[in-house]
Chains A and B, each alone.
Chain A
Amino acid sequence: MSTPVLEIRNLKTYFASDRGEVRAVDGVSLHVDAGETLGVVGESGSGKSVTSLSVMRLIASPPGRYADGEILFEGRDILKLDKAAMRDLRGNRLSMIFQEPMTSLNPVFTVGAQIAEAIMLHQHLPRPAAFARAIDMLRLVNIPAPERRAHEFPHQLSGGMRQRVMIAMALSCNPKLLIADEPTTALDVTIQAQILDLMRRLRAELGMAIMLITHDLGIVAEMCDRVVVMYGGRIVEEADVISLFDNPLHPYSEGLLASIPRIDEDVEQLYAIEGSVPDPADRSEGCAFAPRCRYAFERCRSETPVLSPIADGRKAACFLAGERLTRPAVEQVLS
């Protein structure tokens, strides 16, 4: 096994609020190996985005703070880096694509200038050379007529084009790790497919690792090698993609998979997990998913299950995970 590009150990990111401290990320540990794509899935409010922003150290403080843990990027704990060293990493060896392509580009600068800025900052190229490289990057992400497009402003580009620009910007300095936070959520399905294709191609060409934050399990199936499932600021399951889709060990993962509409089945009503994500300010005893879990029993409400190895490469935070590993196929259980 290769050394991980990113290793998060027991990360706790808390936010101060009127109702006390909100534990948005509460003891998350994960790793992303070189060249690998890790999917991070969960509902809104599960702590996925806060985890990714924590890795970039883009959590505003106050109200946020890193209460505990380590984030090792290429072996260095970035939570201990000073601001200048952190700026050297961002957009360089560590970069991120954000959720909202429509608002994530500065409206008053040309897209070429915005890509060139990162290149000038990190590779210390003069402006003309950086701009030429920005045009190359636009070509790399399949933008037609890149020489002309580089001189255009964000409002002159469509949503899909803007997300390509964001990708071009993120990749302009050959990152070792790309964090993509819901990169296709705001786009329509055909554009989604194009962007995912593009990311797959570039991953192969540039050999970077990707941490893909999404709530869309279809994207996970297409893109990822391994998955971590987050719920209530914690990881509830970790597995390779095939095992997870084959036999989800945590009831929450099972519910997420069951919620995917299937083209080969005609159903009256789509499946949905009852209830909603727990209030992150409320921390009572027991498994956070217990109130919504169809399998929950006494122990789940009084004791919090910890994420522990169940099988080779598989971890789950559920008391039933062991017996679920050897049960019959999911469809039978659910029907």
Chain B
Amino acid sequence: MKTLAIDFLLKKAPIAIAMVDTKLNFINYSNQWRKDFTLNNSDYIGKNLFEVIGETPGQFDKDLKKGLKGEEIENLGQKYILPSGKLQWLKWKISPVKIDDTNDLDGLLIFLEDVTEDKKEIELLHKAEAVARIGCWEIDLINNSLYWTKTTKDIHEVSEDFVPDLAQGINFYKEGSHRDKITELVGTAIEQGKSWDTELIIITAKGNEVWVRAKGEVEMAKGQPVRIIGTFQDIDQTKKMQLAHEEISERLKITTQTAQIGIWDFNLETNELLWDNEMYQIFGVQKDDFSGVFEAWESTIHPDDKEKALKATENAVAGVKDFDEEFRIILKDGSIKHIKGTSKTIKDYNGKPIKLTGANWDITNLRSTELKLIRSTESFIETFDNASIGMALVSPDFRWLKVNKSLLNSLGYTEKELLSMKTLDITHPEDILASKSFHTSAYDGLNDTYQLEKRYFHKDGHLVHVVLGVTVVKDMNDNPSHTIAQFLDITDRIESEKRLQTLVEVTKSQNDSLMNFAHIVSHNLRSHSTNMTMLTKFLTMEEDEEERKNLHNMINNAAESLAETIAHLNDVVQVKTGTLENLKSIGVLNTVHHIKKSIGGLLEEQNAVLNINVSKTHFVNAVPAYLESIFLNVITNALKYRSENRAPIIEISSKIKGDHVLITFSDNGQGIDLKRHGDKIFGMYKTFHKHKDAKGIGLFITKNQIEAMGGKINLESTVDVGTTIFIELKKA
């Protein structure tokens, strides 16, 4: 065996190969072995294998032992982590060498190869494959077989020992367009040697839909395709993102189109302005007519807004402030549009602005609506402020929110005063309930409007009558927010109605008293006339002189009575006509003094005392002669009907009562039984005392005089205690 030729061959073999004897001592080895597995180049023939190569995996030892037992062992390459921690891929073949034709073992022929570098590279590739989710595959067109790498199998979600065939491989593609497409591509590749690169959906073994990118390249031999090698990449996430992006972009496009928002790009470096279709629509420009430069845009801007727009653009270009302006443009046909524009400035790495991107939209409608709103608001405010009727805005909790001048005039408050109050603060107590219930039903949505006649108190205390018209104002959600109230001041009307009512009452009572008067007149005149008729008849028949004289006397008396009655009637008639025109301001005290003086004798005669407690400042509107007659009548009545048991004391006092002066005459006389006579105390020819001078005319005339001057008379009396007469006359 130790032939030179063999030695030489062994030495020069381009692989690491060694021959050892049964003791594992080197017999020979190739140069490559020495290079790969010895520490130095020294010769170690005859030395033990393990002395020379140092660290080896345990498996190698075991295999050597097997070899020594005559087995041939091949290791196609395995990764070993050596005891030192070193990672090594080794590949070996151990063949027992036998002595010619005997079964005796002569030694071992060892082929050893360190494939660490190659294996590392493959491992990296696999890792890269797995990380990038790019698998490989290969179709052997000669055997019609298909091979998938691990990642390809992973992407298909099949187990590692899965062996695909071509039909199966294609059936993983989603039925329909995807499977049709791959079938076509593979077919074309086989027939025409055409490569492909496509993105399709497969359904994995677990039923998941996954987007993949499949690439195939055909290898030709002698003009015939023999093999197709390709990659298989999981692009599901990317694809889905891309699809989502496309969807969003599409949606955005539809949105901007629908919303008529124009999008533009302005390249600062090239002064190129790029518009989308909406921009052309908004600016009313034909795409072909647009020069696509900044100046083209600038020229459309309304002259009044140009400065503002250009300044904003300048700032945007300089990157100082993004464009955010409203401006007007003039279209070719001369019409004006209001445009809202915004932009973003895009800068390069150095912060230098390179591009503006922005949006424009037409806000003409918005502006004109706003304008209309402003005009309508203005006209409301104008109406509100200048309305001749009172107007106010009132909150749900009855606060005055806004009031106009007319209302302030009606109520007498200043705006500041009124705004600090609630409407109910100055509402007449009797009207609060109605006000509240209308208010509530309006806010509950039962009525949108209501009308109500109610009363407020003027600042100075008098009543203000209004017809209140209320309209509920609703907010955007259709909830009532406040009310608009209109106040028609009908105080004058009510006052005149009242005056009219009073007038009607006065007229009615005057009519009644005139009626009474007429009957009294007829009664009295009839009494006298019948008496006279009777007496004259007696006279004609009477012959006795004495009796005739008597009758003459009686006729005289009757005639005098008739004259007196007529005088009374005359007094009464005078009172009834044209009194109010003659009213003058008269001092009450003056008149009292005047009367006191004129009846001084009478007072003295009866030891009467007048206690006068009348203010000098009390003046009344009266006819002087009436006032004197009234006072005289009341005082003389008090004296006439004095008590027989005591000297008359008359108290006269005065005080202010509203717009009247109340004058009180209090005596200590006989008094009148008001239960019996109360209803006819002021009647004509009503007398209640046994007094020869009682005619029943004094108080009747007094009452008529007082009423004719717009006053009132009343009395209180207790028999044998005294009488108090209350006279109210209008304050002057």
A binds B: no
Q: Which residues of A contact B (CB under 8 A)?
A: none
Residue numbers of B with Cβ under 8 A of A are none
